[in-house]
């Protein structure tokens, strides 16, 4: 009976761990390349609130910088995951939560949802996440807006 319980726990844990579905919108720069950080959106995290506001997790990946600085300091930033709300009609966004991941494996989190400031959406070249999240449709093929 214990074996069945352990198997069930492992199955549940593995399904939770696989819940993310990162879509790469801009690849991270190669080592030594002077280019913007990579940007991905966890499409499994996209939700549409009753107000019409959309929310998603956005990853800004500093992979090339991490590999270049890793030899100097274990506290160098590896990537950041933001939980962001998007008002697609007004073309503004609001940061809710931030996870800062360092190359030593540590993670620092901060709830920034109380900041009342909404920021204008950057152009697609600077931050493609706004257009992706606002244009997102559910897997069922139904328009979610």
Using pLDDT thresholds of 50, 70 and 90, give the confidence band for residue 78. confident
Instruction: State the pLDDT at residue 19.
Output: 73
Average pLDDT over residues 69-82: 75
Within a domain: residue 26?
Answer: yes
Facing residues of 13 across strands?
none
Looking at residue 2, its pLDDT comes to 44
Number of domains comprising the chain: 1
Question: What is the span of the domain harbouring residue 86?
Answer: 20-135
**What is the spatial distance between Cα 41 and Cα 53, in angstroms, rounded to a whole number?**
16
pLDDT tens by residue, 25-74: 998 877 666 677 889 999 999 999 999 999 999 999 876 555 555 565 66
Asked whether the beta carbons of 39 and 124 are under 8 A apart, the reply is no
11 — alpha (psi -120 to 50), left (phi > 0) or beta? alpha
CA 98/CA 109 separation, integer angstroms: 6
What is the 3 state secondary structure string of 87-115? ECCCCEEEEEEEEEEECCCCEEEEECCCC
CATH number, domain at 97?
2.40.128
Report the alpha-carbon distance of residue 86 to residue 91 in Å, rounded. 7
Residues 6+ apart with CB under 8 A from 107: 99, 100, 101
Output Rg (C-alpha) for the chain, integer angstroms.
18
Say how far apart CA 79 and CA 95 lie, in whole Å: 16
Is 8 part of any domain? no
Q: Answer whether residue 110 is part of any domain.
A: yes
The 10s digit of each residue's pLDDT in 91-133 is: 999 999 999 998 788 999 999 999 999 999 988 888 899 999 9
Residues 6 or more apart whose CB falls under 8 angstroms from that of 22 comprise 40, 41, 42, 43, 59
Identify whether 36 is part of a domain: yes
In-domain check, residue 15: no
- pLDDT higher than 70, residue 83: yes
């Amino acid at each position: 009976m214990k074996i069945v319980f352990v198997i069930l726990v492992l199955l549940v844990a593995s399904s939770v761990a696989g819940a993310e579905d990162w879509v790469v919108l801009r690849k991270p720069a190669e080592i030594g390349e002077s280019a913007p950080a990579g940007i991905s959106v966890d499409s499994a995290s996209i939700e549409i609130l009753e107000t019409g506001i959309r929310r998603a997790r956005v990853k800004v990946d500093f992979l090339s910088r991490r590999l270049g600085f890793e030899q100097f300091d274990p506290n160098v930033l590896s990537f950041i995951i933001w939980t962001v709300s998007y008002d697609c009609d007004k073309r503004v966004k609001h940061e809710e939560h931030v996870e800062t991941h360092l190359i030593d494996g540590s993670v620092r989190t901060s709830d920034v949802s109380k900041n009342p400031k909404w920021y204008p959406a950057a152009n697609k070249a600077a931050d493609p996440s706004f257009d992706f999240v606002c244009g997102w449709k559910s897997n069922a093929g139904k328009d979610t807006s």
